[in-house]
Amino acid sequence: MKAAILRAKGQPLTIEQLPDPNPGAGEVVTQVLAAPVLTYSHEVFSGIRDYPLLLPLAPGASAIGLVEKTGPDATRLEQNQLVFCDPTVRSRDDILAPDIMLQGAIAPTKGAQKLQAHFRHGSFAERMLLPLENTYSLEQLRSFDPTKLAWLNTMLIPHGGLLAANFQAGQTILVNGATGHFGSAGIAVALAMGAARVIAPGRNEQVLNTLVRTFGPRVRPVLISEQEKDLSKCFQEAAAGPIDCLLDILGPMRNTTLTRSGIMALRPEGIAVLMGGIDMPVDLPYKYMMRNNLVVRGQYMYPRHAPTLLAALIASGQIDLEPFAVQTFPLEQANQAVEYARDHGGPFQLTAITPAQG
């Protein structure tokens, strides 16, 4: 099979031939139809983001694919079945504290690197070897363009945060990072789950207006200026009522003002879920947090049942993929795809590699 290989950080990807994978027990091989390209892939491949990886490998986190072969213990997956390939690979021998790697993206611990040594290659390849439990049927979405379905990977991140917050229909949520790639997708998912209001702060008025035009009046924009003194009050005024949840999905930054203000805007017994890239401590008042029964929770990726729930939201029409654009590249142009993703990482923009069409 052909694959785009990262041999060393700081070097371009090279198109190479690899042996076709063969599944054993508990495994499946899929043909890759569409592989999303993370907006920050160039930072990982160059070493700016020092992600631990066993090189050389074919990168690429997640894919939409077709089942090609299954191991002997598969009971539901069948050849040619449309599937989502989940990159969140968990070790199977410690259910309470499993090692976790993102296939084709990061293996941060010694245990995770043992996983990567076996499930080595990601989705920038014609085929992928995956654990059975990481392969989700999308047969109910068979009529959809597979490249559009590549948005599943982006939407699943904030979806995991909403599930962690026990988000309920009729609640109001504040999305920090609303004008970004993951935050704007999070707005779509929150509305599909029945949000009464989504508070969307941002510094780009044009993007905020686009969010309102796309999603309607349930989105309440908050334009932030550098001179803003009390952001918590601004959030509460935009909500015109209690704010039940905070989904903090900001990109890498060394400023905690938005995060702290979002937490302080929550109603008593509100829940804040941290999923972003803040790289410094957040100063929170101990007594205020205690007396208001606030919950602050970190969430990495999403639970195992999330892809099935999200696929159902798309199949039912609760999530409309029409506004979400995809720019595709053949596998041979993997380096151009990485550059394009770097420059087009805002709301409603996704880059994908399509190995099966090469």
**pTM of the complete model:** 0.96
Please choose, from the candidates 192, 202, 197, the residue with its C-alpha nearest in 3D space to the C-alpha of residue 225. Answer: 202
Mean pLDDT in consecutive groups of 10 residues from the start of the chain, 358 residues: 97 98 98 97 95 96 98 97 98 95 96 96 98 98 97 98 98 98 98 98 96 98 83 96 98 92 98 95 97 98 97 98 97 98 95 86
Tokens of 42: 């160039």
pLDDT at 229: 74
Domains (range + CATH), the chain: 2-144+321-357 (3.90.180.10), 159-298 (3.40.50.720)
pLDDT at 227: 63
Question: Taking the CA of residue 198 as centre, how many other CA atoms within 13 Å lie in the half-sphere pointing to its CB?
Answer: 34
C-alpha 156/C-alpha 179 separation (Å) is: 17
Tokens of 343: 């420059």
pLDDT at 228: 66
Tokens of 303: 């639970």
SS3 246: strand
First CA to last CA distance, the chain: 12
Please choose, from the candidates 118, 9, 105, the residue with its C-alpha nearest in 3D space to the C-alpha of residue 58. Answer: 105
For residues 210 and 221, is the Cβ–Cβ distance under 8 A? no
pLDDT at 162: 98
Please choose, from the candidates 84, 143, 97, 89, the residue with its C-alpha nearest in 3D space to the C-alpha of residue 311. Answer: 84
pLDDT at 253: 86
